[in-house]
Amino acid sequence: MLDPRLIRESPELVRAAIAKKHLKVDLDAALGADTAWRAQLHEVEQLRSVQKAANAAMAALAKGSPEFSAKVAEMKAVSSRVKEREAGLKAAEEKCREAMLALPNLPHSSVPDGATPEQNIVYSAHGDTSAVGPNAVPHWDVPGFARLFDFERGAKVTGAGFPFFVGEGARIVRALINFFLEEAARAGYVEVSPPILVNAASATATGQLPDKEGQMYETTPDRLFAIPTGEVPLTNFYREEILEAAALPVYRCAYTPCFRREAGSYGKDVRGLNRVHQFDKVELLKWVDPATSYDELERLRADAEALLQKLEIPYRVLLMCGGELGFAQSKKYDLEVWAAGQRRWLEVSSCSNFEAFQARRAQIRFRSRDTGRAELVHTLNGSGLAVPRVLAAIIENNLEADGRVRIPAALVPYFGKSHLSFA
């Protein structure tokens, strides 16, 4: 949610910023709803003020006295008017809230213009992507792949995109999760194991609701949502709380499975481990003082990058253009690994600053040292990292002539041996 004051006072500034995101947004509807709501609020408050004054006067009168009865008769009329106007006020408030929730976050001034993936800026590139081994193939074509990553049985048991990870396949997943968690801890992130079902209020705070229900799995009859990312429970940890300034910044990390319906995906994007409905991810999350949030974003990106460097996977960093930003993001870097067999880049991390957008929805504040008042924190998050695509890249980049996959040195202690075998 945006600062309502900003929308009222500088609507053209907001309009221009939203245009950079290439989203169709009815700002005037929000402005109109806000004005209407405030006018009605003022009216109701004045009526209530009359009621309160009368109540004070009546408290001093004898219950049965004629003066008392006269007041009751008089206030009945006011009461019914209050009821009527309150109903209108409630409707106006709801309408205003809906309109406000529909407004996206504004991009930061350093975000490049653009509407398409081609307009993202390659911020940096690391490692060699030119040397393609003679046996580099898409990971799903590696002989024996289906033994370790059993999509067929997963489809039988659950549905498409819910693979079983078997034997060394399961072991490499566990090794990656542990590696990511240990590295995060070393970088100062406190580990959390959160619920992986969340309620509607939590999904609203991080921006999945309203509008994006279709991308989440939803349970009945309790209406809980399977998290699409650890960001959701993690961010909501401090929902409706006021933190002490001294407690900031807070760094947390969490391993969770993530669930995505991915309605509308198709083709080569969804082959193999590229896109699945359930996958493992370690999420990094920060709650920070607003003054520091863009420095924190750079550090967050560096933390995520360090993982890829240690795994010796060629990767690049994209600075996302306005049109490629998510609804709630102010600025985002994507980390993409090189999948040598597919000869394409796979996104394995998104590091974003949400500024106060989520914090306002979630009412996460801190007690400012300067003003003594409760102010909204800034939230940031990034993957550190998503398991299946990192795994795909390791398989495709490290496939050796004998059909085995060389495990990066940093991962060997976690995996327990130097090679993964499909035999």
Partner RNA sequence: GGAGAGGUGACAGAGUGGUCGAAUGUGCAUGAUUGGAAAUCAUGUGUACUCGAAAGGGUACCGAGGGUUCGAAUCCCUCCCUCUCCGCCA
Instruction: Give me the residues that bind RNA (CB under 7 A), please.
Output: 4-5, 38, 41-42, 44-46, 48-49, 51-56, 58-60, 63, 71-72, 75-76, 78-79, 82, 90, 242, 365, 373-374
CB of 76 to RNA, least distance (A): 4
CB of 63 to RNA, least distance (A): 6
Give me the amino acid identity at 94. Answer: E
Tokens of 99: 């309109």
> Which residues, 6 or more positions from 311, have their beta carbon under 8 angstroms from its beta carbon?
390, 394, 408, 410, 411
**Burial (0-12, 13-18, 19+ Cβ within 10 Å), 420:** buried
In the complex with RNA, the residue whose CB is nearer, 55 or 309, is 55
Q: How many Cβ atoms are within 10 Å of 338's Cβ, its own excluded?
A: 24
**Coil, helix or strand for 306?**
helix
In the complex with RNA, the residue whose CB is nearer, 100 or 297, is 100
CB of 77 to RNA, least distance (A): 9
CB of 174 to RNA, least distance (A): 20
> Which residues, 6 or more positions from 388, have their beta carbon under 8 angstroms from its beta carbon?
273, 274, 276, 279, 280
In the complex with RNA, the residue whose CB is nearer, 46 or 219, is 46
Q: H/E element holding 172?
A: helix 168-186
> Which residues, 6 or more positions from 200, have their beta carbon under 8 angstroms from its beta carbon?
209, 223, 225
CB of 99 to RNA, least distance (A): 14
> Which residues, 6 or more positions from 118, have their beta carbon under 8 angstroms from its beta carbon?
none
CB of 353 to RNA, least distance (A): 22
In the complex with RNA, the residue whose CB is nearer, 148 or 376, is 376
In the complex with RNA, the residue whose CB is nearer, 72 or 122, is 72
In the complex with RNA, the residue whose CB is nearer, 130 or 371, is 371
Helices (H), 10-26: 11-20
